[in-house]
Amino acid sequence: MTEATYLLEMNNISKSFPGVQALDNVKLHIRRGSVHALVGENGAGKSTLMKCLFGIYHKDEGDILLEGKPVQFTNAKQALDHGVSMVHQELNQVRQTRIMDNIWLGRFPEKGLFIDEDKMYADTLAIFKDLEIELDPRRKVDTLSVSESQMVEIAKAVSYNAKIIVMDEPTSSLTEKEVNHLFKIISALRARGAGIIYISHKMEEILKIADDVTVMRDGHWIRTIPATEVTIEEIIRLMVGRDLTNRFPPKTNRPSDTILEVRDFTATDPRSIKEVSFDLRKGEILGVAGLVGSKRTELVESIFGLHNLQSGSLNLNGKDIKISNPHQAIKKGFALVTEERRATGIFHVANIRFNSTIANIETYVTRYRLLNDRARTKDTKWAIDSLRIKTPSQKTRIESLSGGNQQKVILGRWLLTGPEVLLMDEPTRGIDVGAKFEIYQLMLDLANNGKAIIMVSSEMPELLGITDRILVMSNGRVAGIVETANTNQEEILTLAAKYI
C-alpha cells in the first residue's frame, strides 16, 4: 500500500517512563473508512500509544502522519482541532451539567455576548437524530446510566467531524441491543470515510466489527492482520505469547449450605429494586444478569448499605443482621467491587500501598495510634504477588497503572478484609483475556474456600462460563433464578424482558 492509502500512520513510536519502557518501536496504520481493532493484554501499551497520538503524552521517538502530513499534538485540543477524537473507557464528564453543555464545552455557539442556547440545543438534537440517540439534550449528565453517558461521549466525538475516532472499550457497559446500535453508528462513520481505532477485550465483537487487527504485547507491535484472516484463538495466542486453550478455568467449587438470605428487599426509591428475595450458598458464584436499567447494580449496592430500604431483611450464617452503611457491611464480612473503577474504586493520586490497604486500615493501627507500615507493606506485597499486579513498586501511583492492574489492586484491597460475601459489579470490565482468566481462577479459589460471590455482569459468556446459578433482574424485580448448567442465552434474555 502507498502512504496515501493511510489516513493515519504511527511509525516507530517509543515512550518510556522511569523504570518502564512502555512503547518500543510501535507502528499503527489506519486505512480511510475502516475499523482497526487494537488489542493486547493490560499493560501492553495500547492506551499509552493512543495518548501519544492524542497529545496527552509526548512520544520519545517516532513519527505521526495524518492524511500524509506530519503532526505533533501537544494537547488534546490540538488533536480535536485536527479531527482526532477519543472516547475514553473511563468517562470524563462534567456530571452536574446538561448533556449539551458537555458536548459543546469549550466551543459554545455564541449570539453576541451570550451563549446561543437554541442553536446548541438544535445542533445536539441533529447529532442525536443522526446517531439515533433518544436523549433530551437538556437532561443532566448525572442522571444518565453508564451506557447513556457512553453514547453522549460518542456523540461528542462525532460533533468534532472527526477523521479519526478512538473508542476505548466502548461496549464495556452496553447491553446486546445497545452494542448493535453502536455498531450501526460505527458502520455509518466508516461509510463517511472515518477511521475508527477500536480497543476492546471482547474477541467476538472485534471479529464482528473490525476490518484490521493490530496486536500489541509488552509495549511492542506484534502483528497486523486482516480480520477475515484470523481466529479468536490466534489473536489470544499473539496477545499472551502462548496458547490459552480455555477462556474459563474448570469449575471445581461445590456450593454447600446457605450463607446469606435476602428477603423482600424494596428500596425507598420507587424506581429502584422491588421485593427482591434470594439465597446464596457457601462456595457459590451467583451471577446477576439483566438489561441496563434492570437495577442489578442497585441490588448489590443495597446489600452493601449504600441505598435506603423501605423494607427487607438479611440473614447471614443463620443470624439476622442490619446493614445501613458500608462500614457496617465491611464489619459484617461483606466487600463490594464497584462497577465504576475510576469514579468509585481507586484513589487516583495515592500509591498502590494506600489503595491496597485503605479498606482494612483499622487493623494496621498500633496501640500508639500509629500505622504499622511493615504490616501494610507485607499485605500489599501479598496482593501484588497473588494477583500478579504489574507495577514498578508499591509506591507507584495507581493512576499510572493500566485499567486491569487497577482492578486487581481493588480486588486485593477487598480480599485483605477477609470477606465472607464478595459483591462484584462488572469485575472484569476492561480487562484482557489473560487477566480475566486469572480473576476467574481467583473467584473459584475463593469459592473453594467457602466464600460466597455475587457477580453482576453484562457479558453473557462470562455468566455462563463461571457461575453456578444466575439471578435475572428485570425492571427492579427478580424475573427468575436459573441453574447455569441448564440454561442458555435465550432463556436469560427472555427473563430479562419479563417486566418491561
Provide CATH code, domain 3-240: 3.40.50.300
Task: Write the DSSP assignment of 266-277 as a string of letters.
Answer: EESSTTS--SEE
Of the candidates 447, 484, 495, 493, the residue with the CA atom closest to the CA atom of residue 462: 484
182: left (phi over 0), alpha (psi -120 to 50) or beta: alpha
Assigned C-alpha cell, 467: 457461575
pLDDT at 85 over 80: yes
Of 42-46, 95-99, 348-352, give the lowest mean pLDDT range: 42-46
Neighbour-count burial for 113-136, b at 16+ CB within 10 Å, e otherwise? eeeeeeebbebbeebbeebebebe
pTM of structure? 0.64
pLDDT in tens, 439-459: 899 899 999 999 999 999 988
Mean pLDDT of all residues in 346-362? 89
- Write the CB contacts of 495 (distance below 8 Å, at least 6 apart in sequence): 289, 472, 474, 479, 480, 482
Q: How far is CA 47 from the centre of its chain?
A: 14
Q: What pLDDT is recorded for position 146?
A: 72
Considering all CA atoms of the chain, what is the largest pairwise distance in Å, rounded to the nearest integer? Answer: 72
Mean pLDDT of all residues in 338-346? 73
- What is the Cα–Cα distance from 185 to 94, expressed in whole angstroms? 24
Of the candidates 56, 423, 76, the residue with the CA atom closest to the CA atom of residue 262: 423
pLDDT at 173 over 70: no
pLDDT at 2 over 50: no
pLDDT at 433 over 80: no
Please state the domain extents for the chain: 3-240, 258-496
Of the two residues 363 and 34, the one the predictor is more confident about is 34
- What is the Cα–Cα distance from 83 to 62, expressed in whole angstroms? 20
Provide CATH code, domain 258-496: 3.40.50.300
Q: What pLDDT is recorded for position 3?
A: 44
pLDDT in tens, 266-294: 999 998 999 999 999 999 999 999 977 79
Of the two residues 42 and 239, the one the predictor is more confident about is 239
pLDDT in tens, 407-427: 889 888 988 888 999 999 988
Mean pLDDT of all residues in 242-267? 88
Same topology, domains 3-240 and 258-496? Answer is yes
Q: What pLDDT is recorded for position 317?
A: 95
Sorting pLDDT into bands at 50, 70 and 90, what band is 91? low
Of the two residues 15 and 460, the one the predictor is more confident about is 15
DSSP class of residue 351 equals B
Average predicted confidence (pLDDT) for the chain:
89
Q: Is residue 346 within 8 Å of 357, Cβ to Cβ?
A: no
pLDDT in tens, 198-210: 998 788 889 999 9
Assigned C-alpha cell, 499: 417486566
> For 100, phi and psi rounded to 5 degrees?
-70, -30
Burial grade of 476 (CB within 10 A; 0-12, 13-18, 19 or more): buried
pLDDT at 1 over 60: no
E strand intervals along 95-235: 110-111, 114-115, 164-168, 195-199, 212-217, 220-226
